[in-house]
Each structure stands twice: as structure tokens, then as C-alpha cells.
Structure 1
Amino acid sequence: MADKQISLPAKLINGGIAGLIGVTCVFPIDLAKTRLQNQQNGSRLYTSMSDCLIKTIRSEGYFGMYRGAAVNLTLVTPEKAIKLAANDFFRQHLSKDGKLTLVKEMLAGCGAGTCQVIVTTPMEMLKIQLQDAGRIAAQRKLMPETVAAGTVETKSPTAMQLTRQLLQEKGIAGLYKGLGATLLRDVPFSIIYFPLFANLNNIGKKDVDGPAPFYVSFISGCLAGSTAAVAVNPVDVIKTRLQSLNRASTEDTYSGVTDCIRKIMRNEGPSAFLKGAYCRALVIAPLFGIAQVIYFLGVGEFILSFMPKKHD
């Protein structure tokens, strides 16, 4: 039985709603991931995810855990929409009689990951600066000797201020710093995630031609998401380091992916590439679990059913 025709507007709505719900639920864990990945030997402020969140609440208040959330909530809708809709598009065009080989499933995931970086790179570039601002401020208070000479302590910038500054100083390329590392993370992630999800979801189907129950889609999304997240975590560490603009005088700076890998290996060892891995798994699992439930419940199709239809 052939796959039904894709309703692109419905898929875009589903991806957007799923992204908004998911980000709101897991953003504090994502903040902890960024701060854990960015701290280097000699400037450690946090020992674990829970320690990071507790210290963040104490120093910055409850809403301190949501630094950078506005950027994510604004851009996660187009990002998730592109990712999910692109995967569906490629799967449909690569399928033959409604069936896909594993290689074609991976190619569809590759296409989806490549498309999404258009939005993901600037979104994460801004988000990381805002998320890491609290760590830098705490470092100035606890370890003033690590602050570079002549550094002036200023209030944390807003996303708009950061955007204007990057555009003025470096042009559009400033927002796309770390594009290569983002591709190296998101393409393998999608190659792993989408085929794994599709196959796990198929296992849970009660009817071969029917949809899987929503709880099967949720569990499949969680398992596939956490597996893919941990698998690409080393590249996520590299991407986070490359996209962080503010560093203490004792912390390494990096000129590119290769330089970053070399310095991390030399100064921190291989284990540094797993920093924040469990945080990332805790972020991605519910994020994609929720996404798949919304996607397969057809919330977008339901909303569009109330829209007046055009007549020829």
C-alpha cells in the first residue's frame, strides 16, 4: 500500500507545535548541557547537571534556567518544521511502492539534517551566548584572576543586541560561525535518528498498514533521539566550544574544528568529548518523543480542517 500524500502545511504546524512544547519542557537541562560542555580544566564551576541547575537558581533565580529560551522558542518552530517535513519529503521521493531500504532511510535523514542547519546554526549561536552568560558572570565573581585584563563587566546582552553586534562586526557569517560543526553533528544525528525511529515505530504497530499507537511513537522517539544524541555528543561539544564567543583568559580559544579537537585531546583528554552527554540525552529524548506524538496524532491536520477550502 503506497504512502499517503504528504500535507506539507500540516507537517509544518506539527513540527512547530512539537518544538514549542518540547523546548519549554527541557530547556533548563539544555542550559546545563551548554555550561558543562563549555567549562574547561582549571575553571570548573559545576560538578554535574543537578549542581549546575541548583547554582543557577541560587545566583540567577528560577528564570535564569531559561536564559536564551526566547531565541529557541522563536526559531525552534521553523527548525523542527524543516527537519520533520524535509525527512517526510525525502522519504516519499526515495520510496518505491511505499517501501524504503535502510540506505534510503539514511539518505532521507541526511537530507533532513542538511536542510535544518539553515535555521539551527544562528539559533544555537545566539542561544549559547545567552546560556553561557551566567557561567561567565559566576566565574568573574568566584575566580577573578581568570578574567582577561581590561575586561569590563557588563549586563548580559539580549538576543537582539547580540544579533546586531554580530551582523555589524562580521556580517551574516557571524551568525553562521560553527556551521561546519553543526553539519557534522546534525547530519549524522538525522542519519541515525530517522531510520532508527521508523524501524522501532514499525515494530510497535498492531496493524501493518495502520499507524502505531501514540505511546509507541513516543517511546520510539525517546529511544532513537537519546541514542543519536549520545552518538554525536563529541561533535556537539566541539560545536558548543566553537560558537562560544566569551572565554576566560585561562581558557582555550579555537580556530576551527581540527584545532578544537587537538586542544581538547591535549588539555582535557578524550573524556571531555562526553561532557554533557547525559544532559543532551535527557533533552533530546522527550523533545523528539513529544515531536513524534504531535506528528502522528495529526494536530496540524486537525487545525487545517477548520480552514476554509479553496474552490476552483
Structure 2
Amino acid sequence: MSSKTEQNFLLKEQIINASSTGLIGISCMYLLNLMRFTLQSKPVTIDKERTYKKLFNCGREIFGRHGLRGLYNGFTVNAFFIAPETIKLVVNDYLCAKLQTKDEPLSLYRRMLAGAGAGTCQSIVTVPMELLIIRKITNTGSGIDIEIKSAWHHAMKAIRQKGFLGLYKGAVATWNRDVFFSVIYFPLFAYLNNRGRSLETDKVPFYHTLMSGVCAAAISGYVATPLDVIKTRIQSGDPKFKNAYNGVIDCAKYV
């Protein structure tokens, strides 16, 4: 097998692994993501009253209004976009390989640069994906008599209002969040994972890699939460709530 064929095979393998892992991940974590989006997009009404008090209070009320369908509202959108969205893992590995110099370990700066490139590629898919999910969730939590609209309905509405670019509302805010998260996550994961590498076998145990990913994601997610809140408020677009912001800076002033 030629080196070019081998590289193509490995690339396909990485894409399949990333897509499968992403699908399993969203299946396990979607309920928490739904409650997170709901809390971030509709925290306070015009009368300055909180819509939901706590995380699980939010989930309980949505289930009471719309049943199990309401708790998984927007899941199909997430599942559809998850394959291209997880390409960030492949992009990061690719950029790290390109930035690698012979006989020298990859520097922190180069790892951060690779992470920034991965976050940039991710945001191309993340913007329309999260916009449609947030619009569906906003509709779900608006009241008992509100009908749950399809993602296609919200997509066509955004396109009719502002053309194809309507699907990219909040693009700058999403790019800020994705790049900031990736710049922290990928170098941190690489550092933690390498700490568990065996000197004898030059391999890292699976449990250590798993815990390295969990710790890196938790720290990166926590640090990037303010940018995530700003992004969600901008994309929400519900006129009943205080989220008609003119860009990232304007939104940050009122969050």
C-alpha cells in the first residue's frame, strides 16, 4: 500500500471514528444540552422574572408541557450535523501533523494554532446547527399551547428573512466560542494525555485518555461559558425576551 493510499485510509478512518463518537456523545448528553440552551437563551422575561429556577426544574417543566418529544426537540438537527461538526478532531490532527517539525516535540504555540484552525472549521457547521436547535428550543419553552415546529420550518423562515446568511446569525459569537474552546482544549488534552504515556510501551491506557478528555473538556467548557451564553442569547431571537442585541459587545454589556 502506497503512503498516499495509507494516508487516505487513515483519514477516512479518523472521520468515521469522530462521527461515531460524536453521535454517541450527543445521544448521551442531549438532554443536558437542551436544558443548557434553554437556560441560556431565556433567563429573564421582560418583567425581570426568571423563566426557570434551576437546571432540572427546566427539564421537568418542558417534559410537563410537551412530554418526551419536547425533551428531544432538536435532536435530529444535532444528529444530522454531528458528522461534519466533529471534523474538528480530524482537522486538529491534520494541522498538528503539518506543523510538526522533525525530531522536535510540537510546541504549545503550534498546538494552540492547530486548535484555532479546528475551531474555525467547526464553526462553519456549528452556526446553522445551533441556530436551528435554539430556535426549536425557544419555541418549545414558550408555553403550553405552542406547537413544536420542525427544523425545516425555522430554516426556511431564517432564509426568507435574510437569505442564506440568515442561517449564520451569531457567526462571530460562535466563532469566538469555538476557537477559544479549541485553543484551550486540544493543547490541554495533549498535555494531560501524554502524562500517562508508559515509558516501556510508549502507549497511554484507555482510562487515562478518557479522563484526560473529560478534564480538558470540563476546564475548557467552564472557561468558554461566558462566550457560549453570549452566542446563545444572540441566536435565540425570541421577541418576548431581552435578547435583541446588536453584536457580541452589545450583548456582553447586558448579559
Residues 79-131 of structure 1: CA distance to partner in whole angstroms, max 9, x if unpaired? 10x20010001000011126201111111101100111111110011011112
The aligned runs of 1:14-93 (5 Å cut-off) are 14-41=17-44, 42-80=48-86, 82-93=87-98
2:247 is the alignment partner of 1:256:
yes
1:134 CA displacement: 2.1
The residue type paired with residue 85 of structure 1 is V
| Corresponding residue SS for 1:45 | coil
| Corresponding residue SS for 1:222 | helix
Partner of 2:123: 117
Q: Which runs of 5+ in 1 are unaligned?
A: 139-152, 265-312
Contact 2:18 2:89 (8 Å CA) reproduced:
yes
1:174 CA displacement: 0.4
In structure 2, distance between residues paired with 1:136 and 1:214: 43
The residue type paired with residue 130 of structure 1 is K
1:154 CA displacement: 5.3
TM-score (norm 1): 0.75
Partner of 2:3: none
1:101/1:49 CA distance change after superposition, 3 Å: same
Contact 1:178 1:239 (8 Å CA) reproduced:
yes
1:9/1:252 CA distance change after superposition, 3 Å: closer
Residues 249-306 of structure 1: CA distance to partner in whole angstroms, max 9, x if unpaired? x534112111111222xxxxxxxxxxxxxxxxxxxxxxxxxxxxxxxxxxxxxxxxxx
| Corresponding residue SS for 1:131 | helix
Contact 1:91 1:108 (8 Å CA) reproduced:
yes
Contact 1:102 1:195 (8 Å CA) reproduced:
yes
1:135 CA displacement: 1.7
The aligned runs of 1:160-239 (5 Å cut-off) are 160-207=152-199, 210-239=202-231
Q: Which has the higher contact order (CA 8 A, sep 6+)?
A: 1
TM-score (norm 2): 0.91
1:209 CA displacement: 6.4
Partner of 2:13: 10
In the alignment of these two chains, the number of paired residues is 245
Q: Please report the RMSD computed on the Cα atoms of aligned residues, expressed in angstroms.
A: 1.8
In structure 2, distance between residues paired with 1:123 and 1:224: 24
Ranges of 4+ aligned residues in structure 1 off by more than 3 Å: 207-211
> Which deviates more from structure 2 when the two are superposed, residues 218-227 or residues 6-15?
6-15
In structure 2, distance between residues paired with 1:136 and 1:119: 26
In structure 2, distance between residues paired with 1:202 and 1:5: 24
1:53 CA displacement: 1.4
> How many percent of aligned residue pairs carry the same amino acid?
39
1:217 CA displacement: 1.2
1:234/1:122 CA distance change after superposition, 3 Å: same
Residues 212-259 of structure 1: CA distance to partner in whole angstroms, max 9, x if unpaired? 1111111111100010001011010010000012231x5341121111
In structure 2, distance between residues paired with 1:96 and 1:58: 57
In structure 2, distance between residues paired with 1:234 and 1:46: 19
Residues 42-96 of structure 1: CA distance to partner in whole angstroms, max 9, x if unpaired? 241211111111222222212321110100000011110x200100010000111
In structure 2, distance between residues paired with 1:195 and 1:18: 20
In structure 2, distance between residues paired with 1:8 and 1:131: 35
Contact 1:166 1:174 (8 Å CA) reproduced:
yes
The residue type paired with residue 70 of structure 2 is G
1:208 CA displacement: 6.9
